[in-house]
Structure 1
Amino acid sequence: MDLSNYLNELRGAGLLKVVNSPMAVEFDIPLIAHRFSGLGPAILFNNIKDHPGFRAVANIVDTRVKLMMALGVSNAEEAYIKLLNAEANPLEPREVNDFPLIRLSEVDLSKLPVPRFFEREPGPCLTSGVVLGLGDYVNASFHRLTVIDRDKFVIRLVPRHLYRIFNDNKAKGRDTPIAIVWGIHPAFLLASASSPPYGVSELGVANRLMNGELRVFRLSNGVPVPVDAEVVMEGFILKDAEHDEGPCVDVMSTYDVVRRQPVVKITSIYVKPNPIVHVLVAGDAENSILMGFEKEARIWNAVRTVADVKAVRLTRGGGGWLHAIVAIRKTIEGEGKNAILAAFSAHPSLKHVVVVDDDVNIDDLNEVEWAIATRFRADEDLVIIEGVRGSSLDPAAIDQSIGLTTKMGIDATRPLSKEAWRFERAKIPERININEIKLE
């Protein structure tokens, strides 16, 4: 289960298109990826200007169809169960003694096709590299990595597991050993974007998702890395070095603030022959799916304890992070509000949630808006929670540094105590096969 084989699966399904013309990784490839985001095919760039031998691919899991294909499941519910089971029952990957990648003769990040995405960003930024950090265990997670020197990145560390590992090592007077994995199977990416409890390695989650096929090799700094990666960078997060990070674009397609953040020093770079790197545009559909899908699974799992849940979506407009729509089969009054509270509990970064009935297609925002227009009354069905912790990605937060905000839930389910016919969407009987009608 490596990236090349996955791309062959996409090609066989008609979900891969190729660009053979020379394209610059600064702005041009990101622009093409952005324009086609969420529209169907992944795009393989076979000719990167100024980077001979490298190829790039974008939009590999920018649709739910591709994500289901990567996980080997047929629907979202199967994917939720598989992912939650992998977190609950991680499988340690098998360690091997041979590393098939080639070590480059020098460390020079300018020789790698690290993209530059947005006009106000300070330089090339790696958004799709998985950072493996070694502390009490091996953590795998996504972080912005902006090139600041031929052998150095500045890394955005949010107060989560790698941040804790870094501070634990720093308190002991040690740099943090890391590896950056760039170009890997989407199941590994999804596991790395997930949030199992501290101490549960995402490598084990990934291996469970990959049906036990993940093999790792331990680098000289002690970090185990997938042998099927396209590019691996070995190095350390320095305990005593900081640099300005930003302004860089986040999942909401807005510029984040500039902060002093730790510095990563790269000591070795390893590549496959003719490697394929992954270009991930912040704020695009692929970013939303990778970042939000595990949280969607958690919401689904929490809501099903209080209501009969049909479907959950973290929406594209909410960055796959701040907005959720939940469809339930309501049997008693109050279940809509219980579903709202369950969703907020399952995903604390969630800002707004809309709960609808199971006759509403939550992938059609027109239908969701119709449900709000016809089944919601603000004096009865609005839930407001003030002064709570949300997401630091919300630029409208009361205090963005900690995500302090106000949350809102909309119960747009029809009341059971009133005449049901008043809340039905009118339908025209289907007595003919509309697909057989020819328009001339």
Structure 2
Amino acid sequence: MNEKNKITDLRSAIKLLASIPGQLIETNEPVDPHAELSGVYRYIGAGGTVMRPTKIGPAMIFNNVKGHKNARVIIGLLASRERVGLMLDSKPEKLGFLLNEAVKKPIAPVIIPQTEAVCQEVVHYADDPNFDIRKLVPAPTNTEEDAGPYITMGMCYASDPESGESDITIHRLCLQSKDEISMYFVPGARHLEVFREKAEKLNKPLPISISIGVDPAIEIASCFEPPTTPLGFNELSIAGAIRGIPVKLTNCLTINEKAIANAEYVIEGNLLPNVRVREDQNTNTGKAMPEFPGYTGPACSELPVIKVKAVTHRINPIMQTCIGPSEEHVSMAGIPTEASILQMIEKAMPGRLLNVYAHPSGGGKYMAILQFKKSKPSDEGRQRQAALLAFSAFSELKHVILVDEDVDPFDSNDVMWALNTRYQGDIDTVFIPGVRCHPLDPSQNPYYNPLLKDKGISCKVIFDCTVPYNLKDKFQRAKFKDVDPSRFAPELFKNIE
């Protein structure tokens, strides 16, 4: 059994990381889940678009969370591409290829009996007068301005009320009361929104489960979007393909839906038809929580509501959370983005796209660096066609930087070198105005640019930093002698291939 198949749930992922120096730390110091926990991890390993100072560092477990005696919180599990590679048994630079192959060979989930589902070891029903989800689930707030405690790593699972087809996605979930959760949908971007709208037209509630603390392969797979995974494609089958075994589901106790059987927590409830709540009704800050572009998202005036029916969990559960703009979001959103781009461009022009990197500065969504190889004169111009295909593969992409095969797309300094020595703004920039992108970028708003017709519309841009094919001989990098550096510094190169 290889390393990736040793991981079946959150606890086995933690066990693997604990065996690798520098990947996981724990603390018994008491921590307040309100702003303090995220404030600590900002310095330890948040990275991403988080306000500086921050850095990429180990995942962290808090063993002493104020107000929650028998629960621990882990943060930053996916906040390092290297760590994701360890948990998926892949080289970091090949993760996009791994997911691309998994999409091609899906393995459907299976249902196991409730008696075998560890997620239901402990059960709390909402009709108990002492029930309060805010006391049961140690959901942190990222900042002191947040609208409330947020579940940021909840795997939301629901089914189409017409076809019965199921899907899983991650949403912004704010604990609003003892048994109510608000749910944010990016307009037109998630399959669960389609399910909810269908149920609402029938004036029926939509059963939904929220699984927290699962196999990281599930968390990565759940972030695929159309057109790579169209309506009716259950992303759990991608996680199954990554592991080579089906994801295990079990029937919920209070609703007609399923949940991830080995999750640390499961919240069961119904999305209520025609019921809305103001996101910041408990704080009146006007703000929601920090989002992936690095800014705090505005609180929504009307959001759909989940009425909670039950909370189940494992004995001594581990709550999983993340900081909205952290490197963790880059991993979850960016690696599926890379796979989607690889898939579409490889179909159109095989062998020319060598790699893709969804850069952290774009939160894994806004910027992609494409490493493209021109092998003959007729390849000139195809690099820009590849960029257009990338925009089609992932609609929320805003900027594409094209580089040659001798530039490392994962090294920002190397990419900036290409921008400075292989790019002229007036001839190597392609503007594509008026295209739908993502509403959480504050510059994609008519108040920033009056020419924009709506929030979430943007000017997409291609930065072509590739050398024209007929000039390749004039852009040769300085060549150094190939040597074996491990002879001279073995402590630095003991794992060199």
Q: Does 1:25 align with 2:53?
A: no
Amino acid corresponding to residue 250 of structure 1 in structure 2: E
Report the more deviating stretch, 211-220 or 188-197. Answer: 211-220
- What are the Cα deviations for residues 310-348 of structure 1, in whole angstroms up to 9, with x where unaligned? 221111111111011111122232132122212112111
Tell me, yes or no, if the aligned pair for 1:314 and 1:321 is still in contact at 8 Å.
Answer: yes
Quote the Cα distance in structure 2 between the aligned partners of 1:109 and 1:292.
31
Cα deviation for residue 10 of structure 1 reads 0.6
Q: Does 1:183 align with 2:213?
A: yes
Out of 259, 276, 293, the position equivalent to 1:242 is 276
Cα 1:419–1:240 change in 2 (3 A) is closer
Quote the Cα distance in structure 2 between the aligned partners of 1:376 and 1:238.
53
Report the more deviating stretch, 134-143 or 405-414. Answer: 134-143
Cα deviation for residue 42 of structure 1 reads 1.2
Amino acid corresponding to residue 157 of structure 1 in structure 2: F
Q: Does 1:426 align with 2:478?
A: yes
Tell me, yes or no, if the aligned pair for 2:147 and 2:299 is still in contact at 8 Å.
Answer: no
Equivalences for residues 345-360 of structure 1 within 5 A: 345-360=392-407
Cα 1:49–1:413 change in 2 (3 A) is same
Aligned to 1:333: 380
Out of 440, 451, 456, the position equivalent to 1:403 is 456
Quote the Cα distance in structure 1 between the aligned partners of 2:258 and 2:36.
34
Amino acid corresponding to residue 391 of structure 1 in structure 2: H
Secondary structure of 1:418's aligned partner: helix
Name the count of aligned residue pairs: 436
Equivalences for residues 36-435 of structure 1 within 5 A: 36-38=45-47, 39-77=56-94, 79-97=95-113, 98=115, 99-100=117-118, 101=120, 102-104=122-124, 106=128, 107-111=131-135, 112-135=137-160, 136-158=164-186, 159=188, 160-195=190-225, 196-219=229-252, 220-245=254-279, 247-248=287-288, 249-259=290-300, 260-304=302-346, 305-306=348-349, 308-331=352-375, 332-398=379-445, 403-418=456-471, 420=473, 422-429=474-481, 433=485
Tell me, yes or no, if the aligned pair for 1:30 and 1:279 is still in contact at 8 Å.
Answer: no
Report the more deviating stretch, 314-323 or 27-36. Answer: 27-36
Amino acid corresponding to residue 237 of structure 1 in structure 2: L
Tell me, yes or no, if the aligned pair for 2:152 and 2:173 is still in contact at 8 Å.
Answer: yes
Tell me, yes or no, if the aligned pair for 1:141 and 1:193 is still in contact at 8 Å.
Answer: yes
- What are the Cα deviations for residues 83-123 of structure 1, in whole angstroms up to 9, with x where unaligned? 23443443222212223321025431221211011232221
Quote the Cα distance in structure 2 between the aligned partners of 1:437 and 1:186.
35
Quote the Cα distance in structure 2 between the aligned partners of 1:353 and 1:95.
41
Cα deviation for residue 67 of structure 1 reads 1.5
Cα deviation for residue 299 of structure 1 reads 1.2
Secondary structure of 2:198's aligned partner: helix
Tell me, yes or no, if the aligned pair for 1:375 and 1:415 is still in contact at 8 Å.
Answer: no
Amino acid corresponding to residue 301 of structure 1 in structure 2: Q
Aligned to 1:6: 13
TM-score, normalization by structure 2: 0.83
Secondary structure of 1:417's aligned partner: helix
Quote the Cα distance in structure 1 between the aligned partners of 2:479 and 2:235.
48
Cα deviation for residue 150 of structure 1 reads 0.8
Quote the Cα distance in structure 2 between the aligned partners of 1:428 and 1:75.
26
Aligned to 2:5: none
CA RMSD of aligned residues (A): 2.1
Aligned to 2:494: none
For structure 2, the 5+ residue unaligned runs are: 1-7, 48-55, 281-286, 447-451, 491-497
Report the more deviating stretch, 389-398 or 268-277. Answer: 389-398
Quote the Cα distance in structure 2 between the aligned partners of 1:301 and 1:204.
17
Amino acid corresponding to residue 277 of structure 2 in structure 1: H
TM-score, normalization by structure 1: 0.93
Cα deviation for residue 69 of structure 1 reads 2.2
Secondary structure of 1:69's aligned partner: helix
Quote the Cα distance in structure 2 between the aligned partners of 1:302 and 1:410.
20
Cα 1:255–1:433 change in 2 (3 A) is closer
Report the more deviating stretch, 208-217 or 111-120. Answer: 208-217
Amino acid corresponding to residue 397 of structure 1 in structure 2: Q
What fraction of aligned residue pairs are identical, expressed as a percent? 27
Cα deviation for residue 432 of structure 1 reads 8.1
Secondary structure of 2:230's aligned partner: coil
